[in-house]
């Protein structure tokens, strides 16, 4: 029985192979004939069906890609200050950020204190960081990065120089393309120059670096050039000495006084002629 079936099948195959011509079979036409003989309704051709299915697949892939990108996109929270304005901000982990004038800071609300504790900034800001050894805190500027566990410090970013002043604790300061790194402790400062491409460390505590926040300027046997620098930075003006005195030093404390009053005291005390010329 099986032998007869095999012989019959072989004859059929030989017949098809002998009479078949490539391109002579129209699948769509054959389907329509088959369907009409059996009262089968077919509204969509095979080709249109597959085009439609492919479109649906592409749409699903596109939606999946969009959802993945959207889910991973940062949700930035940004805080800015106008020139002369200061502002205190508390991050989700209770870390304090005090912004000086004309500055900004931002963080990714989706990931902050979940995957990491990282912020970006420009300008000048003081940070009092809540300690969390499992998630170190980091601050990025355009060319530097500061990483800490829990401490307080200030970052001051200018066009060509970024400076870090550590008030308490310990910080890691990294800068430049070469990722030069230094460790700073309380009372230490470091400056990175984008022109020289190097970090300079200072171990002297500069008490007036936080004057913009405390409202107090303190000088103890301070050279006149440093007095002028601190006053210019605090009041955001250009100050020059028109008396050309050299070698004089100032010892004084000023608590949130107008610049004109301070200049009058310094001029009379040191017999100099300090004049504010213009805003920085």
Q: Give the global pTM.
A: 0.69
> What are 102-138's pLDDT values in tens digits?
999 999 999 998 878 999 999 999 999 999 988 999 9
Taking all residues of the chain, what is their mean pLDDT, rounded to a whole number? 83
Is the pLDDT reported for residue 195 higher than 70?
yes
Strand ordering across the sheet containing 189-193: 87-90, 96-99, 124-128, 152-157, 161-168, 189-193, 198-202
> What are 220-255's pLDDT values in tens digits?
999 999 999 999 999 989 999 988 777 899 999 999
Distance between CA atoms of 109 and 89, rounded to whole angstroms? 14
Is the pLDDT reported for residue 93 higher than 90?
yes
> What are 246-266's pLDDT values in tens digits?
789 999 999 989 999 999 999
Contact predicate 271/243, CB 8 Å: yes
Least confident of 24-33, 153-162, 190-199, 233-242: 24-33
Percentage of the chain modeled with pLDDT above 90: 56
Rg (CA), the chain: 37
SS3 253: strand
Question: What confidence category does residue 79 fall into, taking pLDDT thresholds of 50, 70 and 90?
Answer: very high
Contact predicate 204/180, CB 8 Å: no
> What are 15-71's pLDDT values in tens digits?
545 555 555 556 566 556 655 665 555 554 555 555 555 665 566 666 566 445 555
Outline where DSSP puts E strands in 68-134: 76-80, 87-90, 96-99, 104-108, 117-122, 124-128
Contact predicate 104/78, CB 8 Å: yes
């Amino acid at each position: 029985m099986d032998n007869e079936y095999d012989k019959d099948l072989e004859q059929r195959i030989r017949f098809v192979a002998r009479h078949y011509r490539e391109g002579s079979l129209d699948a769509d036409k054959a389907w329509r004939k088959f369907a009409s003989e059996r009262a089968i309704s077919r509204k969509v051709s095979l080709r249109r069906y597959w085009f439609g299915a492919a479109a649906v697949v592409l749409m699903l892939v596109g939606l999946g890609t969009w959802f993945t990108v959207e889910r991973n996109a940062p949700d930035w929270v940004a805080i800015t200050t106008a020139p002369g304005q200061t502002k205190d901000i508390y991050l989700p982990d209770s870390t304090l950020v005090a912004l000086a004038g004309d500055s900004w800071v931002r963080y990714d609300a989706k990931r902050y204190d979940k995957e990491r504790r990282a912020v970006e900034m420009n300008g000048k800001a003081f940070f009092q960081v809540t300690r969390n050894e499992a998630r170190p805190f980091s601050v990025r500027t355009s060319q530097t990065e500061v990483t800490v566990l829990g401490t307080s410090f200030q970052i001051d970013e200018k066009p060509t120089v970024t400076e870090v002043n550590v008030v308490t604790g310990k910080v890691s300061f990294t800068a430049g393309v070469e990722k030069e790194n230094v460790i700073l402790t309380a009372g230490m400062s470091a400056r990175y120059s984008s022109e020289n491409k190097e970090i300079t460390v200072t171990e002297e505590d500069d008490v007036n670096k936080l004057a913009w926040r405390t409202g107090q300027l303190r000088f103890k046997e301070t050279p006149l050039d440093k007095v002028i620098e601190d006053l210019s930075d605090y009041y955001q003006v250009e100050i020059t000495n028109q008396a050309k005195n050299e070698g004089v030093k100032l010892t004084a404390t000023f608590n949130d006084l107008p610049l004109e009053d301070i200049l009058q005291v310094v001029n009379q005390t040191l017999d100099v002629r300090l004049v504010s010329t213009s805003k920085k």
